[in-house]
Amino acid sequence: MNFFFWAFSLLNYLIVFGSLFYLLRIRPTPKMLAITLLCNIIIAISAIYLAPFQWVALILSVLLSGMFFYYITKKSIAFLHSIIILLLLIPVEYASLLLVKSFHLPLAIHVLLIITLFMFVLYLYKKLMDTMACLPLKIELLLILMATMTFIIFYITVFMDNLSLSLFHFSRLLTYLIFLFVMIVIVLQTVRKEAILEQKELTQQSFYEYTIQLEQMNREIRQVQHDYSNILLAIRGYIEQENMEGLKNYFEKVTSTTQSPSIHSLQQLENIQLPELKGLLSAKIVKAHHLSIQINVEVPNIIEHLFIESIVLVRLIGILFDNAIEASVQHPTPQIELAILTMSANEQLLIIRNTTIQSYNDIAKIFAENYSTKKNNQGLGLYTVQQFVTQHRNILLNTYVEGEWFVQEMLIERGGEDANRNI
């Protein structure tokens, strides 16, 4: 284990682990650096003592780096990045060796070439992956499989066949790599098109629900206008008879029955400028009113957008509100409180509170995949909520019980750079 070996081992650490910090947008802490350095030492030692089996060190590199960054981010794409980094490093190192041999360049230039070329291809890879903020798990697994197969081809071609330095062999490696990235682009384009179609369908459905609610409100307004003259005639009758007690009782009865929950819900949501969200909340609030649930909505600021995709936003709020309705309707005084607050230029807070008769001894259990407090198993939505929160690093969910109130607080941050909270 000479100086040059450890120097290249340190270079490998900076390339592999440094690239993962960069790709996953993680700000390293001293604890993270210590753990990753330990992982790199294990990889280096395996490369020394298992030199005839070079594949062991490569597999260790993928597994250790992939598992560590998966633990931090809870994203399986960390394994894909680990494999891709090695795939990029092999042709980059091959190309730099080819240049050093051809032009008889010194070792320092060799290292500089590796770093420069690798940073360039890594930047291109990151730009490609940034086009998709969140990939479905099955797509991530497909890409991992494709990258693994390409890596096996690289290993057989470079290490087992003792590939000599030549422009022809470099072209072969480059062809394999280009083919992989072409396939990745095709997969990403397909996923993007499906996401666009799904978002259009969701928007259309939200507009449809919103239109239905507006039509219902218009019918209620016309009904109130139609009854208005009859109400005035009835009031006139009480006045002519000087029946003030009867007039008082009649007035209280009329004012309670003519207050439309649908109209009131529209007034509460007037600051929300997102049609899909306003349509969803309007439908949920009307549903809650029909179940005799008291609703209180607080949206003090105009909400033109939230820092999250529309599809995810509607699904999350839909699940949380449905659970709030199902839980509060069992309470003697069913109530739901909803607040959408702008905390700062980079933070928005969504709060949904509902009264409940359930006792939650272990809050974590309600997010389990098969957990439900109902016989018909309708309470499985919170597992989906947890999956969404895990996949989106800019969402922080705080769930707790406060007396008879079950509270869900969702903090949505602009961007997803905060990745240090799990370690």
Q: Describe the crossing of helices 167-240 and 310-328 by its angle, rounded to 10 degrees.
A: 40
Helix (H) or strand (E) holding 275: helix 275-290
* Reported pTM: 0.59
CA angle 197/199/205 to nearest 5° reads: 105
Tens-binned pLDDT, residue by residue, of the chain (423 aa): 567 677 778 888 999 999 999 998 888 999 999 999 999 989 988 888 887 887 888 899 999 999 999 988 877 889 999 999 999 988 898 888 888 888 888 878 888 998 999 999 999 998 888 776 567 778 888 999 999 998 888 888 776 666 667 778 788 888 888 998 999 889 888 887 887 787 677 667 666 766 676 676 666 666 656 666 677 777 778 788 877 888 778 777 766 555 555 555 556 788 888 877 887 888 788 788 878 888 888 888 888 888 887 777 888 888 899 889 999 999 999 999 999 999 888 889 999 999 998 877 667 677 765 555 554 444 446 777 877 787 677 888 898 988 899 999 999 988 644 333 333
Q: What are the residues whose beta carbons fall under 8 Å from the beta carbon of 387, sequence distance 6 or more?
A: none
Q: Which amino acid is at 81?
A: H
On the CB side of 295, CA atoms within 13 Å amount to 27
* Closest C-alpha to 7, from 107, 121, 90, 120: 107
**401 by DSSP, 3-state: which?**
strand
Q: What are the residues whose beta carbons fall under 8 Å from the beta carbon of 218, sequence distance 6 or more?
A: none
> Secondary structure of 202-264 in the HEC alphabet?
HHHHHHHHHHHHHHHHHHHHHHHHHHHHHHHHHHHHHHHCCCHHHHHHHHHHHHHHHCCHHHH
Residues 146 and 184: beta-carbon distance below 8 Å: yes
φ, ψ of residue 250 in degrees (nearest 5): -65, -40
